[in-house]
Amino acid sequence: MKKVVILGSTGSIGKSALEVIRRFPDKFKVLGLAAKSSINILEEQIKEFNPQYVAVFDKKACDELRKRVKKLEILYGNEGVCKIAKLKEADIVLSAIVGAAGLVPTFEAVKEGKIIGLANKESLVMAGEIIKKEAQKTGAKIIPVDSEHSAIFQCINGINKQHIKKIWLTASGGPFFGKKSHEIEDVTPQEALNHPKWKMGKRITIDSATLMNKGFEVIEAHYLFDMPAENIGVLIHPQSIIHCIVEFIDGTYIAQMSNPDMKAPIAFALSFPERLPHIVPSINWSITNTLHFEIPDTEVFPCLKLAYEALSIGGSMPAVLNAADEVAVEAFLSGKLKFKEIYKIIKKVMDAHNAFSIRSIEEVLEADSWARNMAKKEIEK
């Protein structure tokens, strides 16, 4: 039986992971749960799964949960979350905290040589080189949980990488697929959050609408699979049935397919190298008879270009890209920015940044802090 730690248990990935664990009580035991502030959900999870360790990032929420739950020591803050992340008893740590907040806990798990189910792509976007080097040193194993990266992992496992010509990440296109640039100038947050295929958190849903999320996935794929940027492509695939395509040097391809449901890559990461039965419904080929693909229009979705640019520059620039995006998306959701201004803010912050080589997590956080402050100043203007 695997002992599982879930960082970000009250988010969409965390809740889906617990659905999988609920179905297979003979295979998994919840060892630890960590959340930011959603203590009503967390309290229910504690009652059902009886973890030995719990951490809450937010002080006020932590104090309230401590009043409600007497039988457990509730750990507090980033220090508490990190303690959960590096529990010696854990067989796998699922890193599902949203955004830059997931970086340090993920790195702590890497330093302990853990098996990590990685749903927090920001860890690799911000500090890919450092995390890779630390994982090589400690023997930590990273199993991707993003649907596309899980698909690639499955397709190339045991394959000679010299035989791979290109990796293609697929994207649904989000709610504005097929629109012209002028048609999405003044879209509302509600329209941008109306994703046609996936149910996700607000930030990742907006990033999917701008295609920035796919840009982050390009950076993540670069570090996960040691592929140069020019060998990582993006295809718009509205049906979201094919999650990746691997192109080989002989002109042949392998694709990974399933109905769009995050429980599939989550279950794969938790159970690897085994597979669990009946996780998602089989594809109904009588109604799935057309699969469409096209190259994304980066004039309509210029954020994708920014991600490739940040990866090309390297060093601190991907961390700056991520931080500026987080701030700009938050401003859009709160009505301070128009949809198309998300790109403009990120571009201004990147143009103002003198990228430098990253040698430590502290330097990553320094670049992150600088970019957030710069983005906020640009938004105020």
Higher pLDDT: 115 or 184? It is 115
pLDDT of residue 179: 84
pLDDT of residue 381: 84
Q: Which tens digits make up the pLDDT trace of 208-244?
A: 999 999 999 999 999 999 999 999 999 999 999 999 9
The band of 99, judged by pLDDT with boundaries at 50, 70 and 90, is: confident
Looking at beta carbons, which pairs linking 245-249 to residues 24 or more positions away fall under 8 Å? Answer: 245/167, 245/168, 245/170, 246/152, 246/155, 246/156, 246/159, 246/164, 246/166, 246/167, 246/168, 247/164, 247/165, 247/166, 247/167, 247/168, 248/163, 248/164, 248/165, 249/162, 249/163, 249/164, 249/165
Residue 246, strand partner residues: 167, 254
Q: Give the residue from 246, 243, 346, 241 showing the smallest Cα distance to 288.
A: 241
Average pLDDT over residues 318-326: 97
pLDDT of residue 330: 96
Residues in the chain: 381
pLDDT of residue 186: 84
The band of 77, judged by pLDDT with boundaries at 50, 70 and 90, is: very high
DSSP-derived letter for residue 379 is H
Q: Which tens digits make up the pLDDT trace of 263-285?
A: 999 999 999 999 999 999 999 99
Place of tokens 């990746």: 244
CB contact at 8 A, 313 and 351: no
Mean pLDDT is lowest, of 35-39, 172-176, 337-341, 361-365, for 172-176
pLDDT of residue 145: 97
Domains of the chain are 2-145 (3.40.50.720), 150-261+294-380 (1.10.1740.10)
**Can you give the pTM of this predicted structure?**
0.93
Average pLDDT over residues 90-106: 95
pLDDT of residue 345: 98
Query: Quick one: angle between helices 77-85 and 103-111, nearest 10?
Result: 40
Query: Per-residue pLDDT for 46 more than 90?
Result: yes
The amino acid occupying position 22 is R
CB contact at 8 A, 84 and 7: yes
Question: Which three-class secondary structure state does DSSP give residue 328?
Answer: helix
The band of 92, judged by pLDDT with boundaries at 50, 70 and 90, is: very high
Query: Per-residue pLDDT for 173 more than 80?
Result: yes
